[in-house]
Amino acid sequence: MVGLPARGKSLIAGKVKRYLRWTSVKAEVFNVGTYRRTDNPHPDAKFFDVNNTEGEKARRAAAEAAVADMLNWFKDKENKVAILDATNSTKSRRKWIHDKIIEANLLHLFVESKCDDEDLIMSNILEVKTSSPDYVGQDPEEAARDFRDRIRNYEKVYQTIDESEKHLTYVKIINIGARTVINLIQDYLQSRLVYYLTNLHIKPRSIWLSRHGESEYNLEGKIGGDANISERGDRYARLLPELVKRSGLPKDAPLTIWTSTLRRTSQTAQYLVKELGWEKLQWKALDELDSGVCDGMTYQEIADKYPEDFQARDDDKYNYRYRGGESYRDVVIRLEPIIMELERSENIIIITHQAIVRCIYAYFMEIPQEKSPWMEVPLHTLMKLTPKAYGTQVDKYKADIPAVSTWRPKGSTAKHHDSVSEGVPEVRVGDKTSQKSEPPPMTGLPLP
Amino acid sequence: MVGLPARGKSLIAGKVKRYLRWTSVKAEVFNVGTYRRTDNPHPDAKFFDVNNTEGEKARRAAAEAAVADMLNWFKDKENKVAILDATNSTKSRRKWIHDKIIEANLLHLFVESKCDDEDLIMSNILEVKTSSPDYVGQDPEEAARDFRDRIRNYEKVYQTIDESEKHLTYVKIINIGARTVINLIQDYLQSRLVYYLTNLHIKPRSIWLSRHGESEYNLEGKIGGDANISERGDRYARLLPELVKRSGLPKDAPLTIWTSTLRRTSQTAQYLVKELGWEKLQWKALDELDSGVCDGMTYQEIADKYPEDFQARDDDKYNYRYRGGESYRDVVIRLEPIIMELERSENIIIITHQAIVRCIYAYFMEIPQEKSPWMEVPLHTLMKLTPKAYGTQVDKYKADIPAVSTWRPKGSTAKHHDSVSEGVPEVRVGDKTSQKSEPPPMTGLPLP
């Protein structure tokens, strides 16, 4: 990463890491600020003054330690992308990093975030003063003032990537996507990353996510197929416009509805279209995980007919591919264009299927592959995902309409249960539970 | 398009048009040179001199006619992307075009090809002198000299897109992808186009394309499934390394093999891996078109069991989606990442399935959607596609190993025929037929 403090470097680094891991590419962030803090937990702006030789020495030592750890991390051949999160704001610093990387026989990609939009910078500064470990326990006003002074110290020596560095592979993002300069891209992964980076935006928005209403196959405990929704499923569909409205709609911003091509999702979306007049798009990529030869069977039938397959799926659900069908890994590959389009888009409501909800949710909430296929995603529940500077906020709205539970714990072949008969307490429309995706990570206070 | 003559503008325009049409986006190229030639079929370099007011007037008239036709074309709401292929090499010309587009309430994207690689320019000039309609019947040496003079006349007034035009949406491609500048991208389609443009390269290379060897399902006339290859299919697989070698391999450039995840393609590729040591990648996206409930049936069984579906498929094979399966349109969407990766890659051999070969072939050869699903793609035949400046060259190598024909003409339910019993003459290994993809279109002699 390259850029002044408060230019969203850590935000970008975190998103890239999350995106890569979701696509099974092993990635890690090395934040130089974290290394620097072991010796200097709460430095003030003077520490970052170019004339402070003591500070300069400490900052250089932290960078060296981070780069050493990073290069060491690459000794495991499974590890693919390391992100060095620091300002790296001078040509000499970048040359030093470049030489280290070439010496280790690795490829590099400098990602510079250059920003002169004052509003953007201020909102980043405000974020920092409330969450940076550098300013724990300090007066917020004082922290913001000190942080602005620190930025000024960096500005004195900051050199943007320019013509003299045209031998570097880099992408330069100016004002979060207003302009992008791409130089000497060398391989497929770099090209994917650059495409991802050019799709990012930071406008406030939400993504609503729901499974279809209960289907006739759900009632019979069968998987796959193209069944209609049940009477209770239809009640959920009718309630959905109200549920979405109660979740808090953006002003003057119509939502776009995405469904799969299967009828249970279109049926669930129909009242959103009729009552609210929102546009609807059908995506084949949002169709349920293809269960191949097991399509239309119950879990008991699968266990009876294909006992080895049933066991193999329990052992590694993410990688298990149904005969003639798909694995979760396959689904993630076909969902990748959906994620790209979601990153580009503003407000979207997605009505889709259990496995697909799991994969999309796993992307936004960074759920690891061994857990995501086992996640419980109840029917008749609307989720609202709101990307924040660090992580994604989730609000859940459970409709007051009973449905079978289609969640199968590992090892079980149980037919789906009725959530009501199980005595699960019903929750009123709009009853809401909220959670943050992850503890706020290190913030943008990097480079020694 | 923006750029001096011989910078590959028409090549880029043609590729973009082909890519868009393949993805069902209606696109058209408006080549200003074509308009100019109606009045000035064979102008010499003096015609393009900035001080030639007569020439300047004629060139402006041609640009106006092309832009008028282009704007008129947009009155049909189905039409989505017009490409104005001309040098558009001055700021005032671009401002004029920009204002026209804004006035018509359309979006714009300037694509500048800037190139100072002398080898690249010379090879373009050589291409032009042999194929440009401006120089028909002229001495090639004389034509090349005149063309260089013409370029010099453009160079005198050429203004690259710079800071003063930052209100324009543009992508500036420098030395075919060495560097790219992207400015103010506004929507999804622009973002896809820019990603496509950044993946293009012009290194010489070929793409080998083959169906799997004859399978046991082929013998029974069944579609879909995951059958093994037949004894004859295995003979084709064993012959494949020799067939590929005879087609002419690049020196010191190992091929990468791409197969689907189905066993008949892996089995067909096995001797390429064993004997030649090439790397093999399996792509789910290369799996055969999913025939849903009809998987494993013969065409006669489908016609008996689903007569309406059978008829519907014949009526519109490109759009017909098998119950619980896919249409050709669906297949093209999932093949899009394959095409992007193919554009980025150098030498690749793809072993895949009938419908997939049709779609990939349709991309390279610009076969329209109503024809591509009906294309005959015989078993045991290797195709070598070689992208050229204008169009793609195809060489076909038919192996001397009989196989059933799996081609079903419209309206027929015939079980697959044995090509031998039909008396089709067998052709020896390496017997080769060659064709060009299309008549060479207008070359890079644009802007009045």
ipTM of the complex: 0.78
Q: Which helix (H) or strand (E) holds B262?
A: none
Say what percent of chain A tops pLDDT 90: 67
Mean pLDDT of A396-404: 95
Q: Which residue of B has its CA nearest to A175?
A: B184
B166 and chain A in contact, CB less than 8 A: yes
Residues in chain B: 448
Three-class HEC string of A27-93? EEEEEHHHHHHHHCCCCCHHHHCCCCHHHHHHHHHHHHHHHHHHHHHCCCCCEEEEEEECCCCCHHH
Mean pLDDT of A66-85: 97
Contact: B179, A182; criterion CB under 8 Å: yes
User: Which residues in chain B touch residue A334, judged by CB atoms under 8 angstroms apart?
Assistant: 284-285, 334
Question: Nearest-CA distance from B44 to chain A in Å?
Answer: 38
List of chain B residues with pLDDT < 50: 417-431, 438-448
Whether residue B212 lies in the annotated active site:
yes
At A390 the pLDDT is 72
Query: What are the backbone dihedrals phi and psi of residue B360, each rounded to the nearest 5 degrees, phi first?
Result: -70, -45
Express each pLDDT in A299-319 by its tens digit.
Answer: 999 999 999 998 999 999 999
Cβ contact A260:A359 at 8 Å: no
- Buried b or exposed e, range A417-438, using 16+ CB within 10 angstroms: eebeeeeeeebeeeebeeeebe
Contact: A333, B285; criterion CB under 8 Å: yes
Mean pLDDT of A82-106: 97
- N-term to C-term CA, chain B: 13
Q: Which B residues, 29 through 68, put their C-beta within 8 Å of a C-beta on chain A?
A: none
The residue type at B225: G
Count the helices and strands in chain A (H runs, E runs).
Answer: 14, 14
Residues in chain A: 448
Four-point Cα dihedral A35, A36, A38, A44, nearest 10: -150
A246, pLDDT greater than 70: yes
B428 annotated among ligand-binding-site residues:
no
B334 and chain A in contact, CB less than 8 A: yes
Express each pLDDT in A102-150 by its tens digit.
Answer: 999 999 999 999 998 888 888 878 776 667 788 888 888 888 888 889 9
Confidence of residue A447 (pLDDT cuts 50, 70, 90): very low
Contacting residues for A68 by C-beta, under 8 A, at least 6 apart: none
3-class DSSP assignment, residue B190: helix
B214 annotated among ligand-binding-site residues:
yes
Contacting residues for A230 by C-beta, under 8 A, at least 6 apart: A213, A214, A215, A216, A218, A219
Mean pLDDT of A29-56: 89
User: Which residues in chain A touch residue B261, judged by CB atoms under 8 angstroms apart?
Assistant: 321
Mean pLDDT of A408-412: 86
Whether residue B288 lies in the annotated active site:
yes
Contact: A284, B180; criterion CB under 8 Å: no
From the candidates B112, B127, B212, B380, which is the catalytic residue?
B212
3-class DSSP assignment, residue A397: strand
Round to whole Å and give the CA distance between A443 and A259.
36
A277 annotated among ligand-binding-site residues:
no
Question: Nearest-CA distance from B340 to chain A in Å?
Answer: 10
Contacting residues for A425 by C-beta, under 8 A, at least 6 apart: none
B172 and chain A in contact, CB less than 8 A: no
What's the mean pLDDT when you consider all of chain A? 89
At A9 the pLDDT is 93
At B414 the pLDDT is 67
B186 and chain A in contact, CB less than 8 A: no
At A433 the pLDDT is 63
Q: Which residues pair with residue A174 across a beta bridge?
A: A114, A179
Residues of A assigned a catalytic role: 212, 288
